[in-house]
Structure 1
């Protein structure tokens, strides 16, 4: 009799597991599947731009006039770092490639190597809105680096500051971002 009861318990357990498995499968099939959705979270950056713009020792830049298909994904300002005062604003372009605006008043060469993941300077210069951007190419990131002493939108770039556009996007997308850059109006450095 104990054997019969033991077999019944095993049988009940197997049936219970089958019911639970079927329920879990049904639940999986009926819940929305988010794998097709873009995992990148879009952010706003105007508050950070305003705050950093008042503190930065050089004019910060941000894009103006990009299409809604460009999505801001990251923003940081560090007043003190290994690369001086650093402004970063990252985007996903319409083709889901990464594009970042990077600025620093630290050592130009070290900063460029770090944020471009060691992209190498080429002899090509891209002219965007009357300014010359030096083209960099690398295995991971490409970049456009504004020539010494210039600032996006014209004027002086601030003593020793570096502005560049970098990322996994094509040079055409990097140029599109460079063309949209404008100095932030409330930057301390802009208020003379």
Structure 2
């Protein structure tokens, strides 16, 4: 026979866990981790090696950047247009104009002579300007005006944009905004000159001012005295 109520048992059994819950094992107490001297030495000795590897990687990246080719003027094509100019002056039925005395930063990048004696003869001469823009001389005795004709094609159907006085001559300005294409147009007897490209009107004016009449080649040899 018991003399009184038995003390309550604080131990919880799985059967005592309320329905819908899961019993979890008690977590061990957390505390500082003890690393042996040999492991500590290996960890610390690996740090300088890691730093050296990082420095070597950075040096390799710097070397790759250093030797990677960059865009420069020497990589752009340079064109010699002397033969095309000589051919044009020999066969063109009009007074040929060509640039002389352009600034030294300008250089020709393309030249093309097309046509024949029985039809229009045209010359294209492209330049890289001092400001690294593009300017082209288009010269032809093709029909200048009208849809699909010379001026319409060379200016990409540019819109009238006033006039410019350059070296005593009047040039018509045309502009194609979506292509950022500016053009100077001059109609001469028997030939039309179009200066066009991404260059500013100022730089196109430099090209216009440099245009000079070119003499016809002599049909007979010059006697040597």
Q: Same fold by TM-score, threshold 0.5 exceeded?
A: yes
The equivalent residue for 1:33 is 68
SS in 1 for 2:206: helix
From 201, 208, 219, the equivalent of 1:171 is: 201
Q: Partners of 2:141 and 2:159 in 1: how far apart? A: 20
Name 1:68's counterpart in structure 2: 104
Q: 1:78, 1:87 within 8 Å by CA — same for their partners in 2? A: yes
Structure 1, unpaired ranges of 5+: 1-21, 151-156
Identify which of structures 1 and 2 has the higher relative contact order when contacts are C-alpha pairs closer than 8 Å and 6+ apart.
1
Would you say the 8 A contact 1:56–1:79 is kept in 2?
no
Q: Does 2:88 match 1:88?
A: no
RMSD over equivalenced CA pairs, Å: 2.5
Q: Does 1:134 align with 2:172?
A: yes
How many Å apart are 1:30 and its aligned residue?
Answer: 8.8
Aligned with residue 181 of structure 1, among 207, 211, 216: 211
C-alpha displacement of 1:187: 6.3
Greater Cα offset, 103-112 or 93-102: 103-112
Q: How far, CA to CA, are the matches of 1:30 and 1:52 in structure 2? A: 46
Q: What TM-score does the superposition give when structure 1 sets the normalisation length?
A: 0.71
Q: Is the 8 A contact 1:126 1:134 kept in 2?
A: yes
Cα separation, 2, equivalents of 1:54 and 1:170? 32
How many residue pairs match? The answer is 152
